[in-house]
A and B are shown apart, each in its own frame.
Chain A
């Protein structure tokens, strides 16, 4: 293994490691535009040139592999001088329209200019004008003048999605990024090019001009668009999520995420129910817990001896493990309900990269709340049970239903025939008109929670902003109602709740001794330690 010295510090690295990687390991940040750890290395921006002892010229740190006894200087005068020259060269035709550029504030060109250049332009000839606001794809807008031709976007489409839409056309200072004739940048991951772009040449049509990036507050969270559960930066301004950005997670999504997931932040604010309602009248939480619990108790008692058997409880795979754990305890201990069903969004498209068919982020977490053999039944079974009149009271978490068309219509009709329908969800989705009790829950943006993705990797979300309106996390709603029903679930702190939850889930993950089932994929062996990590 080669041992080298970078800025006087020695390090031993694997054979094949490049200087930029070795330097990063030592904590030296070498400026770069075209290099991206998830893509191939073209070494065309010349920003990462460093001085290597013995080499006559400066060498690109992104491309040069570390060899034994190599001595590298990343911040010598010669290197800084070269960076200054590279920046001046890039800025020759750059429009410097930072005030109207969405990238301003997270622009590498801006940052490096402030770090290394800070000189006035010496150019006295007019800049080359190129295409502005070019619709390169349905989600992405291209600005030729801002482009520094690092070709990250081209390599992304070649190497990651394999769709090969983009290329560089023309030569010299007229070079531009274009799609091949008849094509457009419309793959499922096209907005990753916006993240990749180190300058503001590719901007997202959705985020364009919406908010300046320096106003955004970022929280580590997950995308709830499908069961992949990509790690994201959730960025909000004044309690409104403005965009998702993928967060590097080698176990799940690397540096990428799909466009549909990226735009799924809109779901967080759509059609929110913000006040607890009973029969259409708004109440405070203590009132609604009192009255709601009384209503549930009365309705169950009114059905006679077997009342509890006619209660159905729909668990939502949209909810966090914490919410589901408390909901299960609420259903079993407070309501005495044994008929459990799974709700959630219907299945959708999938591909062989990130997009999953199951559009719910926490199905594995839901299943792990129940011991094997007692897992909740599918939604179709609920329809059948409602049809045959076995269910008179329905408590539903989440307003999403996994059936579509005529079946969904039929479900709505059946809801009308129930004695009592309680809806605990962030959104109404039309079901709120049919519910007698509405308990507004918060979305995954507004609470701490654990989600287990399709591969059994558990991730924790953090509270990006306070729950909107009077909404509350699912676990708190369950606690409030359970206390009024005379079966208090005494957990007050989420940390304590999580401890109990993991114990229960670990027990449930063990295969049942008599009948080992085939579905062992969702066993969460690595889940607890994964969740403990930030």
Chain B
């Protein structure tokens, strides 16, 4: 089939459209409205937040940094069942289980590491946990990872150190235990 040619008529533009002036004044009008509005009532009209000194409040069910819940005696609640690391689509949870001295606990995570750079913040680990041991309700996200010592020679080393800082180990995750801002996964224990 031969290709067909369709001729479109050029849109007619009047004199004022061709000068662009009305649209320029309209645009300037919007800009000036916001400019004087911000000067008149800064608190209402300025929406910019100077992050990270200022932070916007997150919604109640915001999925932030993980925390590991603790038992009443301060031990980790996690029993290392590996449900979270199994479900994790980013493969970012690494758990090594060990025998606990207390036979009623039996199994506990000797190491529990979340690679926060790999984490895609999907929240499936929270859903999968049968013991409500992991939550993402801290209301904070992980700090950005900036390589330190970035002179040319040490750039790689600095990056590697920054990479390591993204591995959140068990104790760090447990420290966030009292940072709950939202109710998630049932009863709130703090």
A133-B83 Cα distance, complex, nearest whole Å: 22
When A208-B99, A215-B86 are in contact, do A132 and B131 touch as well, CB less than 8 Å?
A: no
Query: Cβ of A99 and Cβ of B99 under 8 Å apart?
Result: no
A214-B130 Cα distance, complex, nearest whole Å: 16
Q: Chain A residues near B81 (CB, 8 Å)?
A: 98-100, 104, 212
Identify which of residues 209-238 in chain A touch chain B, using a CB-to-CB cut-off of 8 Å.
Answer: 209-210, 212, 214-215
Identify which of residues 109-152 in chain A touch chain B, using a CB-to-CB cut-off of 8 Å.
Answer: 132-133
Identify which of residues 92-106 in chain B touch chain A, using a CB-to-CB cut-off of 8 Å.
Answer: 97-99, 103-104, 106
Query: Cβ of A132 and Cβ of B82 under 8 Å apart?
Result: no
Query: Cβ of A215 and Cβ of B82 under 8 Å apart?
Result: yes
- State the interface size on chain A (CB cutoff 8 A): 13
When A99-B130, A99-B131 are in contact, do A212 and B103 touch as well, CB less than 8 Å?
A: no
Q: Chain B residues near A98 (CB, 8 Å)?
A: 81, 130
Query: Cβ of B86 and Cβ of A212 under 8 Å apart?
Result: yes
Identify which of residues 48-93 in chain B touch chain A, using a CB-to-CB cut-off of 8 Å.
Answer: 79-83, 86
CB distance from A192 to the nearest CB of B (A): 23
B165 interface contact, C-beta 8 A = no
B181 interface contact, C-beta 8 A = no
Q: Chain B residues near A215 (CB, 8 Å)?
A: 82, 86
B107 interface contact, C-beta 8 A = yes
Identify which of residues 289-303 in chain A touch chain B, using a CB-to-CB cut-off of 8 Å.
Answer: none
A133-B104 Cα distance, complex, nearest whole Å: 9
A98-B98 Cα distance, complex, nearest whole Å: 16
Interface residue from B80, B83, B131 paired with A209 (Cβ < 8 Å):
B80
Query: Cβ of B86 and Cβ of A209 under 8 Å apart?
Result: no
* CB-based nearest B residue for A205: B99
Query: Cβ of B86 and Cβ of A100 under 8 Å apart?
Result: no
* CB-based nearest B residue for A214: B86
Query: Cβ of A209 and Cβ of B79 under 8 Å apart?
Result: no
Query: Cβ of A100 and Cβ of B103 under 8 Å apart?
Result: no
Q: Chain A residues near B104 (CB, 8 Å)?
A: 132
Query: Cβ of A209 and Cβ of B103 under 8 Å apart?
Result: no
Query: Cβ of B86 and Cβ of A132 under 8 Å apart?
Result: no
When A99-B131, A212-B86 are in contact, do A133 and B80 touch as well, CB less than 8 Å?
A: no
Q: Chain B residues near A210 (CB, 8 Å)?
A: 97
Query: Cβ of A133 and Cβ of B103 under 8 Å apart?
Result: yes
Identify which of residues 3-23 in chain A touch chain B, using a CB-to-CB cut-off of 8 Å.
Answer: none
CB distance from A290 to the nearest CB of B (A): 34
Q: Chain B residues near A214 (CB, 8 Å)?
A: 86
A133-B103 Cα distance, complex, nearest whole Å: 6
* CB-based nearest A residue for B97: A209
A65-B107 Cα distance, complex, nearest whole Å: 45
Interface residue from A104, A132, A208 paired with B103 (Cβ < 8 Å):
A132
Identify which of residues 79-99 in chain A touch chain B, using a CB-to-CB cut-off of 8 Å.
Answer: 97-99
CB distance from B51 to the nearest CB of A (A): 40
CB-defined interface of A375-418 with B at 8 Å, one 1/0 digit per residue? 00000000000000000000000000000000000000000000
> Could you say which of B79, B86, B107 has the most chain A C-beta atoms within 10 Å of its C-beta?
B107
When A215-B82, A215-B86 are in contact, do A133 and B106 touch as well, CB less than 8 Å?
A: yes
Query: Cβ of B106 and Cβ of A99 under 8 Å apart?
Result: no
Query: Cβ of B98 and Cβ of A209 under 8 Å apart?
Result: yes
Q: Chain B residues near A209 (CB, 8 Å)?
A: 80, 97-99, 107
* CB-based nearest A residue for B109: A209
Q: Chain A residues near B107 (CB, 8 Å)?
A: 100, 209
CB-defined interface of B103-128 with A at 8 Å, one 1/0 digit per residue? 11011000000000000000000000
CB distance from B94 to the nearest CB of A (A): 11
Q: Chain A residues near B86 (CB, 8 Å)?
A: 212, 214-215
When A99-B130, A99-B131 are in contact, do A212 and B106 touch as well, CB less than 8 Å?
A: no
Identify which of residues 160-212 in chain A touch chain B, using a CB-to-CB cut-off of 8 Å.
Answer: 208-210, 212
Q: Chain B residues near A100 (CB, 8 Å)?
A: 79-81, 106-107
A531-B150 Cα distance, complex, nearest whole Å: 61
A208-B97 Cα distance, complex, nearest whole Å: 9
CB distance from A213 to the nearest CB of B (A): 10
Q: Chain A residues near B130 (CB, 8 Å)?
A: 98-99
CB distance from A378 to the nearest CB of B (A): 46
A24-B80 Cα distance, complex, nearest whole Å: 37
A267-B48 Cα distance, complex, nearest whole Å: 63
CB-defined interface of B122-142 with A at 8 Å, one 1/0 digit per residue? 000000001100000000000
Q: Chain B residues near A99 (CB, 8 Å)?
A: 79, 81, 83, 130-131
Q: Chain B residues near A208 (CB, 8 Å)?
A: 99
Q: Chain B residues near A212 (CB, 8 Å)?
A: 81-82, 86
A258-B40 Cα distance, complex, nearest whole Å: 86
Q: Chain A residues near B82 (CB, 8 Å)?
A: 212, 215
A363-B79 Cα distance, complex, nearest whole Å: 46
Q: Chain B residues near A104 (CB, 8 Å)?
A: 81
When A99-B130, A209-B97 are in contact, do A132 and B106 touch as well, CB less than 8 Å?
A: yes
CB distance from B87 to the nearest CB of A (A): 11
* CB-based nearest B residue for A141: B99
CB distance from B23 to the nearest CB of A (A): 62
Q: List 30 A-B contacts (CB under 8 A).
A: A97-B106, A98-B81, A99-B79, A99-B81, A99-B83, A99-B130, A99-B131, A100-B79, A100-B81, A100-B106, A100-B107, A104-B81, A132-B103, A132-B104, A132-B106, A133-B99, A133-B103, A133-B106, A208-B99, A209-B80, A209-B97, A209-B98, A209-B99, A209-B107, A210-B97, A212-B81, A212-B82, A212-B86, A214-B86, A215-B86
- List residues of chain A with CB under 8 Å of any chain B CB: 97-100, 104, 132-133, 208-210, 212, 214-215
- List residues of chain B with CB under 8 Å of any chain A CB: 79-83, 86, 97-99, 103-104, 106-107, 130-131
Which 3 interchain pairs have the tightest Cβ spacing? A99-B81, A209-B97, A100-B107
Q: A98-B130, A104-B81, A209-B107 are in contact. List 20 more A-B contacts (CB 8 A).
A: A97-B106, A98-B81, A99-B79, A99-B81, A99-B83, A99-B130, A99-B131, A100-B80, A100-B107, A132-B103, A132-B104, A133-B99, A133-B103, A209-B80, A209-B98, A212-B82, A212-B86, A214-B86, A215-B82, A215-B86
